[in-house]
């Protein structure tokens, strides 16, 4: 059976466009049509953009004239998370606060994608300001998981994940502060990459936790994740935290990889069938000649606690700018204080308010030593432990999540939602790159639900993540 154009990967579509078996217009139309048809049910997009005829024509001309030399992303329809600015379009971060905020410039990643001729289908739903793991915290209703619409797609980049998984675009960008690319990728059967901190510019991404945030791809294949990553990465004068290509020592690898598994962490409440899928994925890799080694990462058990001190602290500082004066929703009361209170009370949802309270508390003078500084110290220890582990392995592996996609409302208690991030937050705390790769499915109520395997590599060793991702893909297809 031949694939419909919207079902193609970036690699396949780029090839078909060059072979003239597909036009940019046809590719755009099938994605836009699928999005229009399916979105009322899934709510993956908060807004679908009109076709930009000039851009579509320009992409076609470029492919026709430059042929193989045209960028792979030329003419490829992408979905963009609603916290990444596209000039002239609304960027709401799925918050009432920014419901009508229109971006006045392009995020650096958007500028890079436009230069390559990429097309934008729309802006995707998310947890408000990227806080959450289910997309249920969006001010504009939750997104549904295309594999089972009674379940969440994960979050906070759940709209981007659902849009790619349901073929309402070819690939998407998300942001990841504690797992928001990798966890939704796992729960919808996609590859999701969180690049090394500083590898991709954050200029034009609505800030959540500035020492943790990274933009990255959600894609159907590892090859696509690689293509998108190469397109968006690089030093940027507009983001002083971006890093030169050679900041960290180069790591070469052989064809056979050493996979570090922290067995002591796996005792944690992983559902038995997810654990079985993980063990099967490792066994398949071993069969292909890769080796499994034991690694100790003792401080990782405290990573989640450290994250939920540092992230709210940074969020509370970043969200202080939404004061009803400078950006977004503006309510007018009797006094200036009323303006602030009314704007912020009406503009922010409950999870956002909870994080602001938590963050303000851990930064307050009486508690900063007990909470924020301790968590920050844990971060340095985590980083050292990983450096030590990478002396004897190329990547560290664990399941991306404890279980497959959960039902709407199932994690109403905030702490149970925070536990979703247990395996993903460490890479944000250390700044290391990490990827989630599909590792098969488990059954729930007669449906097959995707689950993911998670790999962390040393800083700036994304090439190792693509290598192991390809190894998982080929072992699964073997």
Q: Can you give the binding site for ligand GLN, defined by CB under 6 A?
A: 130-133, 156, 175-180, 208, 311, 421
**Catalytic residue at 81?**
yes
By beta-carbon proximity to ligand GLN, the closer residue of 49 and 398 is 398
Query: Which residue from 356, 410, 372 is spatially nearest to 133, judged by alpha carbons?
Result: 410
CA distance 17 to 119: 14
Tell me if 432 sits within 8 A of 380, measured CB to CB.
no
State how far the alpha carbon of 291 is from the alpha carbons of 294, 454, 463, in Å: 10, 16, 18
**Catalytic residue at 3?**
no
Query: CA-CA-CA-CA torsion for 227, 202, 172, 273, nearest 10 degrees?
Result: 90
Considering Cα of 322, then 123, then 140, then 307, what sign does the dihedral take?
negative
Buried b / exposed e along 10-24 (16+ C-beta atoms within 10 A): bbbbbebbbeeebbb
**Catalytic residue at 92?**
no
CA distance 309 to 264: 24
**Selected catalytic residue, list 92, 156, 160, 316:** 156
**283: buried, middle or exposed (CB in 10 Å: 19+, 13-18, 0-12)?**
exposed
Q: What is the residue whose two structure tokens read 């960008």?
A: 173
By beta-carbon proximity to ligand GLN, the closer residue of 203 and 424 is 424
**Selected catalytic residue, list 180, 201, 203, 436:** 180
Residue 155 tokens read as: 């979050």
Tell me if 236 sits within 8 A of 108, measured CB to CB.
yes
Integer Rg of the chain from CA = 21
413: number of Cβ within 10 Å: 9
Tell me if 156 sits within 8 A of 216, measured CB to CB.
no
Q: What is the residue whose two structure tokens read 């005829």?
A: 53
CA distance 144 to 438: 19
CB of 41 to ligand GLN, least distance (A): 25
22 backbone dihedrals φ, ψ, rounded to 5°: -150, 145
Residue 388 tokens read as: 């030590």
**Which residues carry out catalysis?**
81, 156, 180
């Amino acid at each position: 059976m031949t694939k419909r154009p919207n079902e193609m990967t970036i690699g396949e579509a780029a090839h078909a466009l060059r072979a003239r078996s597909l036009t940019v217009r046809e590719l755009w139309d099938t994605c836009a049509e699928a999005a229009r048809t399916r979105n009322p049910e899934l709510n993956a997009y908060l807004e679908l953009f009109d076709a930009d005829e000039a851009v579509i024509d320009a992409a076609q001309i470029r492919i026709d004239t430059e042929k193989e030399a045209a960028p792979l992303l030329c003419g490829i329809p992408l979905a963009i998370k609603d916290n990444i600015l596209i000039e002239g379009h609304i960027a709401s971060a799925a918050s009432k606060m920014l419901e009508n905020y229109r971006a006045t410039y392009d995020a650096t990643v958007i500028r890079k994608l436009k230069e390559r001729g990429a097309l934008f289908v729309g802006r995707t739903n998310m947890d408000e300001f990227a806080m959450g793991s289910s997309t249920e915290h969006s001010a504009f209703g939750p997104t549904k998981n295309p594999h089972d619409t009674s379940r969440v797609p994960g979050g906070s980049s759940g709209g981007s994940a659902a849009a790619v998984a349901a073929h309402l675009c070819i690939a998407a960008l998300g942001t990841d502060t504690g797992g928001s690319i990798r966890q939704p990728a796992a729960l919808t059967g996609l590859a999701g990459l969180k690049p090394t901190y500083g590898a991709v510019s954050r200029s034009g991404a609505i800030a959540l936790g500035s020492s943790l945030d990274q933009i990255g791809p959600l894609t159907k294949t590892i090859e696509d994740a690689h293509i998108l990553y190469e397109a968006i990465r690089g030093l940027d004068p507009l983001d002083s935290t971006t890093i030169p290509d050679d900041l960290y020592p180069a790591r070469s690898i052989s064809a056979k990889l050493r996979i570090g598994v922290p067995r002591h962490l796996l005792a944690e409440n992983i559902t038995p069938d997810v654990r079985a899928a993980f063990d099967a994925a490792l066994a398949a890799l071993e069969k292909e000649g890769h080796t499994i080694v034991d690694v100790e990462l003792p401080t990782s058990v405290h990573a989640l606690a450290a994250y939920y001190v540092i992230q709210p602290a940074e969020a509370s500082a970043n969200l202080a700018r939404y004061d009803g004066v400078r950006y977004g929703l503006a309510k007018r009361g009797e006094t200036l204080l009323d303006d602030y209170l009314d704007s912020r009370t009406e503009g922010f949802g409950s999870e956002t308010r909870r994080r602001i309270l938590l963050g303000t508390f851990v930064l307050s003078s009486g508690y900063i030593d007990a909470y924020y500084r301790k968590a920050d110290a844990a971060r340095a220890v985590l980083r050292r432990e990983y450096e030590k582990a990478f002396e004897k392995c190329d990547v560290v592996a664990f399941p991306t999540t404890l279980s497959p996609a959960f039902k709407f409302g199932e994690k109403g208690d905030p702490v149970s939602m925070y536990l979703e991030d247990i395996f993903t937050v460490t890479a944000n705390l250390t700044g290391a790159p990490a990827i989630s790769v599909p590792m098969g499915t488990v059954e729930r109520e007669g449906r097959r639900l995707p689950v993911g395997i998670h790999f962390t590599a040393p800083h700036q060793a994304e090439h190792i993540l693509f290598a192991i991702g390809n190894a998982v893909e080929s072992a699964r297809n073997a």
